[in-house]
Amino acid sequence: MAATSSLRDCDLRRDYRSDRGDLVADFYVPALRAAVQYDRAVGYFTSSALAVIGDGLDAYAQRGGRMRLVASPYLQADDIAEIEAGYALRAVLEKAALRDLERAVQEPRAARSVGKLGALIAEGRLDIKLAYVASGNRVGMYHEKIGVFRDRQDLVAYKGSANESLTGLVGNFESIEVFSSWDDRDRERALRISRDFEDLWHDRTPLLRVMPFTDAAKVVVERCAGGASDLPDAPAVPTDGAPIAVTPQDSAGMLTIPTELRFRGYQREAVKSWITSGGRGILRMATGTGKTLTALAAATQLGKALRGQGQALLTVVVVPYQHLVDQWSEEITRFGVTPVRAYESTDTWYRRTSHLLDALALDAARGGVVVTTNKTFGEQAFRGLLARHRGRLLVIADEVHNLGARHLRTVLPENASFRLGLSATPERWFDDQGTAALTDYFGDVVYEMGIGNAIRAGALCRYSYTPVVVELDVAETELYVEVTEKIAKAMATQESTDEADEDSALGALLRKRASILGHARNKLAALREEVTKRQEDWHQLLYCAEGRHPLSYTDDAPDEPTQLDRVLALVGDQLRMPAARYTADTSRAERKEVLRRFAARDLKVIASMRCLDEGVDVPEARTAYLLASSSNPRQFIQRRGRVLRRAPGKDRADIVDFVVVPPEDAVGIHRETERRLVRRELARVTEFAHLAENEAETLEVLRPLRIRYGLLDT
């Protein structure tokens, strides 16, 4: 049936009842075919409600229709008990709503309809919110049923029917009343229902509260829209010429998706978002969600599309460290291409890269891949080769935030037609200019998959979180105050936020302050207590502070072992747990052996510094101890994601975080300086606790600290 030109042409009745027809076929579908906006308050998610919403969406979506949906989670006894026990209300409501949604989509027709809703979410044309009763200490269900269809000039509002059914005479007995804005008898009621929905949507309704739910629901919707399956044929990519005719032709140097490889729905959506954005943009995806495979899938689709125009594609992958070159190269080999590994001496890669460029120029190769480090990428030899290339170039930047550093952002190749950035945290800490440079070059974030959604989608495992409060000693407190005062002066005297590069005065001060917290000496005793509790457990990671204790650099300071050395002495010598170090000084061969032994249960503990932060796969890790208390969000988000990777037999992880505070009887430290220190630490704790299984327990542990510093709102 063709789309109806307007709501007035639908010949809608003033009421519908199951004994007099089919509510879906006679009302919902015709109204959707005519409408450009559909607002619905549907109570809680049921299969019949979702099926009704989905019917008629095909033509609606083709016309660019938009939809707003409000639902109310059904609270079970366990949910109410969690709320009464102090669990975060938002988390409990989201969990209940997701449970309703998961249960509803088990019905096949509902699942098909949710797939249609998924397309609207992906295109930014469907938004979902949760409504609940909030009056005093009472939390209950919002169970009103209203809906509003709008075309270019009129609206139709309706209300009634406790639960919509799949068809009028099957299932429940239903009835609704319909009010049209062009009918003098109905106009006021139609407009009132419309106003009621607007008040509801904008959280202006007394006794009710409304909160966003689109991102949380997205993971369930994506799964219904396709689940784990091969990527579809590449969509057309905007180019300088005519639309691309995509061909599946494979040839020398072209990436090809392995037949055994399957992708999650969100990975497919990420590829689609990047390609439809013209082959430019950043994917903000949590550590462990498969950024590497997603990027290679995008490069494969792009290569196929360009080949349809008779063009070849050179892909350059830029990564922070040498071991990541090897890791990426192994995955690229699965896609049917042997990449050039460009790092260390030019003798090992320059000639091969030059020959690849010649082959592409002569059309002797239809594609090729070079994987290099940030360091080599920024050197003149490599830059000169890229400048020689006259064909299509795709730059993939793993941990793209690194390329925002001053010495790298100025050498990004302008001849790259296509650009893809990958990072869980693309924003650069205390570096607005570097962040702006990244978005100027790569484009905006075109897809996001946060840790919360990844856990709900089953891409990452669930976790418990244990914060351990540790006090600075007297000398550490004095140094912290001194450095904080210098930071305040540096920030007050500069016109804009400086970046934290090695040559930045502010950056050096920020790193020194973080180092004071990271090296706090009292952490060792607290660590011993926590590790002893888990002495029989395998697969534990210890993240240590870098370098030496800041106080050890003073003239009269005695030599003292590094924190890493002390940790290894504690777990290895004193507690007799098989342990090994993993640092920048560890050779690549030794690193591989450490990871092999860790996976094989020859080692219980790996003690590391920054080397495990970016890109290293340690999926077997079950427990992570965070001794290095950086307030840089990137570091703690990456470290959390590292231990949440899925592995056979692993469904949960434990994170132990050492939270540093001033001593309770500190002398000489300004009260506001104390509060700022604690507030910074609690910001990380709150972030970690929000998604942990034991959120209420975690926050209760820190309640005395919040009371002491007047930070109950943190």
Q: What is the pLDDT of residues 571-608, one digit of tens each?
A: 999 999 999 998 878 887 888 899 889 988 999 999 98
How remote is the C-alpha of 85 from its chain's centroid? 29
1-27 pLDDT per residue, tens: 445 578 998 889 998 887 777 777 888
Contacting residues for 86 by C-beta, under 8 A, at least 6 apart: 696, 699, 700
d(CA 6, CA 200): 26
CA angle, 269 as apex, 263 and 273 as ends, to 5°?
Answer: 135
Burial profile 579-614: b = 16 or more Cβ within 10 angstroms, e = fewer: bbbbbeebeeeebeebbeebbeeebbbbbbbbbbbb
Could you give the CA distance from residue 652 to residue 567 in angstroms, rounded to a whole number? 25
pLDDT at 429 over 80: no
* Contact indicator for 481, 550 with CB cutoff of 8 Å: no
Confidence of residue 292 (pLDDT cuts 50, 70, 90): very high
Can you say whether the dihedral through the CA atoms of 274, 302, 61, 218 is positive or negative? negative
Integer Cα distance of 416 and 490 in angstroms: 38
pLDDT of residue 158: 94
- What is the pTM for the complete model shown? 0.60
Q: Give the whole-angstrom CA distance, residue 45 versus residue 57.
A: 18
At residue 424, the pLDDT reads 83
Residues counted in the chain: 714
pLDDT tens digits, one per residue of 361-373: 888 888 999 999 9
| 194 three-class SS | helix
What's the CA dihedral at 379, 385, 389, 395 to 10 degrees?
A: -40
Say yes or no to pLDDT of 159 above 50: yes
pLDDT at 413 exceeding the cut of 80: yes
Is 350 a residue whose pLDDT tops 70?
yes
At residue 330, does pLDDT exceed 50? yes
Evaluate if residue 165 carries a pLDDT over 50: no
> Which of 218, 680, 653 minimizes the C-alpha distance to 450?
218
pLDDT reading at 254 higher than 70: yes
Q: Share the mean pLDDT of the chain.
A: 81
- Smallest CA-to-CA distance from 662 within 622, 708, 604 is with 708
Instruction: Give percent of the chain with pLDDT exceeding 90.
Output: 33
* Whole-angstrom distance, CA of residue 606 vs CA of residue 463: 19
Give the chain's domains with CATH numbers: 7-223 (3.30.870.10), 229-456 (3.40.50.300), 466-491+508-547+560-709 (3.40.50.300)
Maximum Cα–Cα distance across the chain: 93
Confidence of residue 273 (pLDDT cuts 50, 70, 90): very high
Question: Which residue, 521, 507, 512, is CA-closest to 480?
Answer: 512
Res 107: pLDDT:
62
